Amino acid sequence: MIRAAIFDVDGTLVDTVDLHAEAWQRAFQHFGKEVAFADVRAQIGKGGDQLMPVFLSKEEIEERGEEISKWRTELFAKEYMPRVQGFPKVRELFQELLAKGLRIALASSAIGKELQTYKDRAQIADLIDTETSKDDAEKSKPHPDIFEAALDRLGNLPPEQAIVIGDTPYDIEAAAKAGLQTIAVRCGGFPEETLQGAVAIYDDPADLLARLAGSPLISSSRT
């Protein structure tokens, strides 16, 4: 029986994947590393601790990784955060889930201040049971830490009683490591073939809302 929905945030509830990719690309360029936008975009969904090793050597990370991450964070806050928008019908989806008795958790690798802005843009700050952020995970996705923390915040809820909703293959991989199933959404822009392993795939939160009655969130909660 499903008792909780655990939502990824970036690319799932708010339209940020391209923004994060551009910010990372500019950060790498600032420190003398040319990386193609498409290559960076394909890694969005991971935290910086897992993204940077794809493009930087161990020595580069030890020497400048913290500086690069800090520069990117400041750039994103200044130039990209004002452009962040929530996807349509996120609030209505959350309201419907709550009306059906499900609890809602957010599982994000964002820092606390970023996460608060995302909640405001998606108009869901008053509808969340609990949340996790970067501070709650030793390692980011595709490691399971953030989802395990969400289950813990939900009162050590058994994994079979929750479903993750996310937009990247890293959500699916991390959730599986935590014993969780994933509903995928396409609104993050990841090719559908990379979302294999999800128990269902929807276009976006609005599509999930429109077809909620037959979704694993609701059909499983009745068994």
Burial letters for 93-112: b for 16+ Cβ neighbours within 10 Å, e otherwise?
bbebbeeeebbbbbbbbbee
Per-residue exposure over 176-208, b if at least 16 CB sit within 10 Å of its own CB, e if not: bebebbbbbbbbbebeeeebeebebebebbbbb
CATH architecture, domain defined by 17-83: Orthogonal Bundle (1.10)
Closest CA to 168 of 40, 1, 11, 6: 11
**201 and 195 in contact (C-beta within 8 Å)?**
yes
* Domain locations along the chain: 4-15+85-222, 17-83
- Residue in this structure with the two tokens 């498409």, named with its chain if needed: 38
Q: Please identify which residue in the block is written with the tokens 């994000």.
A: 108
Q: Rounded CA gap, 172 and 201, in Å?
A: 11
Token pair recorded at residue 2 = 């499903």
Q: Residues in the chain, how many?
A: 223
What confidence score (pLDDT) does residue 223 get?
A: 41
Superfamily (CATH) of domain 4-15+85-222: HAD superfamily/HAD-like (3.40.50.1000)
3-state secondary structure of 163: strand
Using DSSP's 3-state secondary structure scheme, residue 5 falls into strand
Q: Which long-range contacts (CB under 8 A, 24 or more apart) does 97-101 make?
A: 97/5, 97/212, 97/217, 98/127, 100/218, 100/221, 101/3, 101/221
Each residue's pLDDT expressed in tens, for the chain with a length of 223 residues: 999 999 999 999 999 999 999 999 999 999 999 999 999 999 999 999 999 999 999 999 999 999 999 999 999 999 999 999 999 999 999 999 999 999 999 998 888 789 999 999 999 999 999 999 888 888 999 999 999 999 999 999 999 999 999 999 999 999 999 999 999 999 999 999 999 999 999 999 999 999 999 999 997 654 4
Residue 182's nearest CA partner among 169, 167, 199, 195 is 199
